[in-house]
Amino acid sequence: MMTPLARISVLPVALALFLSPSMLPAQDQQQQQKPPAQQPADDSAGPMTDSGPIVLKKKKEPTDEPPPAPVAPPEPKVKNPNNETYSLRVDVPIVNLDVNVILDKTHQFVPGLKAGNFQVLEDGTPQTVTSVRMAQAPITAVMLLEFAANSYYFIRDMQNASFSFFNTLRPDDYVAVVTYDLKTHILTDFTNNKQAVGSALNTLVIPGFSDTNLFDALYETLDRVSRIEGRKYIILIGTGRDTFSRINLDKILAKIKATPNVTIFSIGTGALVRELVDARGGMGPITRMDYLQAENQMKTFAQMTGGLSFNPMFQGALPDVFAQINDSIRNEYVLTYRPTNNKNDGTYRRIQVKLVDNEGHPLQMQDEKHKPLKYSVIARDGYRAKNEVE
């Protein structure tokens, strides 16, 4: 006799035997025996799992493109621990020297010279001229005029000379007009307005003081033009006498030496009247010596700066005088060389310029008739070197 528990456990076994595949309907058997439909191959799909498909990345096909060029590693950065910037400066001095070559007889400019024709001596040591070029440019000039109540003839000569120079000015020239007696007076500052310059000269009618403080006036003028870049010219017109200046001759000569790029042209006044008075015995030996010294000072100022000095007696000579000045200041040679003494010690270097031929002998010039021609080489007699602090 079976117990109830035994009957319950036998029942599932019987049901399982009763529901075997052979006893299922034919349609259900076909569904079970039918193989699953094949899915199209998909490289991006993987085998199915309970958690979904696993995606395998597609392998890239090899290409013919070259591999990229290797990139250089970045340069290592070196930091300055003190955060300071250092710089190196090499100061190589170069000297530009304005040289004029003029025939002594006709005062004509001599063109066509080459670098090999110039011999430059600095403190007696030969220098190598690296380049030579011709320059012709507008000028920057100061007309420094003696205008004092001393003699009508001196004033008239000054007026004639100043207007003669005024007539040679060109539109691009910058000119200032300065007069002196006891003090220095600026009639017009640097301007290229020719009408303003002419108006300033027309005011020179009634003078003030009779003193002529030339040294003070020239010192102040040199100090003013030293602040202007480039080559400057001073057209000094007067007797050359100094009566009451605060500085002496030695100081004004030192100032001329210390002022670079300035050329002085001096035109003496009163030459004719002095000759007439002296011929009549009216000029004593002291006065005669005073004017001779004044004339020598004017020449010294010009020679030290590479300029020219004139002492015309007649008004008819003035056009030729200023024609020579214009040829000198508008046509010149500019020599460039590196001095062998490259020390920045602030010393004054003396310069001497000579003309030589291809063999190094003094250059000989001849005219059309093969007669020798005398010439003058006009240049500064020296320059002052820079200091270390400059």
Retrieve residue 133's tokens. 């070029």
SS3 string, 194-223, reads HHHHHHHHHCCCCCCCCCCCHHHHHHHHHH
For 217-249, the pLDDT digits (tens) are 999 999 999 989 888 999 999 999 999 899 999
Q: With 80 as the cut, is the pLDDT of residue 24 above it?
A: no
Is the confidence at residue 299, as pLDDT, over 50?
A: yes
What distance in Å separates the CA atoms of residue 10 and residue 239, rounded to the nearest whole number?
Answer: 157
Domain 137-330 superfamily per CATH: von Willebrand factor, type A domain (3.40.50.410)
CB atoms within 10 A of CB 242: 22
Task: State pLDDT tens for residues 256-290.
Answer: 999 988 999 999 998 888 888 877 777 667 677 88
The pLDDT of residue 221 is 96
The pLDDT tens digits of the residues spanning 177-207 come to: 999 999 999 999 999 999 999 999 999 988 8
pLDDT band at 43 (very low <50, low <70, confident <90, very high): very low
* Average pLDDT over all residues of the chain: 80
Query: Is the pLDDT at 17 greater than 80, yes or no?
Result: no
Q: Which residues of 164-189 are buried (b: 16+ CB within 10 A; e: fewer)?
A: bbbeebeeebbbbbbbbbbebeebbe
Residue 31: per-residue pLDDT:
46
- Cα distance between residue 110 and residue 117, in whole Å: 12
pTM here is: 0.61
The greatest distance separating any two alpha carbons of the chain, rounded to the nearest whole angstrom, comes to 189
Return the pLDDT at 386. 84
Residue extents of the structural domains in the chain: 96-136+332-390, 137-330
Cα separation, 119 vs 355, in Å, equals 6
Q: How far apart are CA 362 and CA 114, in angstroms?
A: 14
> How far apart are alpha carbons 352 and 98 in whole angstroms?
12
